[in-house]
Amino acid sequence: MNNIHKLYKQLYKTYGSQGWWPIMGYGYHKNDYSFPRDKNEIFEVCLGSILTQNTTFTSVVKSLQNLQNIGCLSVDTIEAMNEDKLKRAIKPSGYFNQKARYILEFIKFYKSLDGGIPTREELLEVKGIGEETADSILLYGYNRLEFKVDAYTKRVFTHFALVDEKAKYSDIKYLVQDSLKECIKDETELLHTYQEFHALIVEHSKRYYSKKPYGRGCFIKL
């Protein structure tokens, strides 16, 4: 068992199943890996992945709630929306001018898929979708084996010297994927581990890696 897997095990033992991705009207689904269940929920994950860029998820929930309240929480309804109305609805998540454009750009791409599964390369060509958002969509929307790295992940990994300060997104992503693949041979279990690991890192980091000095109070031992 390598240090990455050790970290995962300790986090899971501490916090348990996180049940990401949360879906509107259902919330988290701990120990239930049947999500997303349909195309609407897949799209909701994509939407949430864009809205949550550099923002807390509670703000994203407000935006999604706003959309739901005006009956616009679906691909076609958002596509048909007046852009200013869309901006008003997603205002709580911040960067609403950019994000409104990103969402509309993504919808064009999403419809061109015609129900198909996007590749990572295709997603990265869409304006507003960088590596983390692409992996978020793939991991939680399409159940693909693409680990999602975020600022917290880098912070925690740096704390434990699993990577150095100048590690790039891909360095961390493939370190995690390679490390977990060594220990977990079953693909379904591996997928759920990717999904839970990222969520667990966020849960742990909100407590111990949000304000400086990062890692104060962190009880994990590798």
Q: Which residues bind DNA (CB under 7 A)?
A: 20-22, 48-49, 52-59, 62, 91-92, 94-99, 126-134, 136, 140, 150-152, 166, 168, 202, 206, 209-212
- In whole angstroms, how close is the CB of 55 to DNA at the nearest point? 5
Smaller CB separation from DNA, 182 or 206: 206
Please check whether residue 200 is in contact with residue 12, taking contact to mean a CB–CB distance below 8 angstroms.
yes
Provide, rounded to whole angstroms, the least separation between the CB of residue 80 and DNA.
22
Output the smallest distance, CB 222 to DNA, in A: 21
Alpha helices per DSSP H over 71-167: 75-79, 83-89, 96-113, 120-125, 131-136, 151-159
Least Cα distance to 153 among 138, 135, 137 occurs for 135
Residue 95 or 160 having the CB closest to DNA? 95
- In order, the DSSP letters of 19-56 are -PSPBTTTB--TT----S-SHHHHHHHHHHHHHTTTS-
Q: What crossing angle do the helices spanning 151-159 and 187-208 adopt, rounded to 10°?
A: 80
> Which structure tokens are listed for 126?
């869409």
CB of 91 to DNA, least distance (A): 5
Give the shortest CB-178-to-DNA separation in angstroms. Answer: 20
Q: How far is the CB of 212 from DNA (least distance, A)?
A: 5
Q: For DNA, which is the closer residue by CB, 186 or 195?
A: 195
Contact of 120 with 135, CB cutoff 8 Å: yes
Nearer to DNA, 150 or 196 (CB): 150
Nearer to DNA, 2 or 59 (CB): 59
Backbone angles phi and psi of 23, in degrees to 5: -115, 135
Nearer to DNA, 9 or 206 (CB): 206
CA separation, residue 45 to residues 24, 52, 62, 137, 141 (Å): 10, 10, 15, 6, 5
Which helix H or strand E contains 62, and what residues bound it?
Answer: helix 57-69
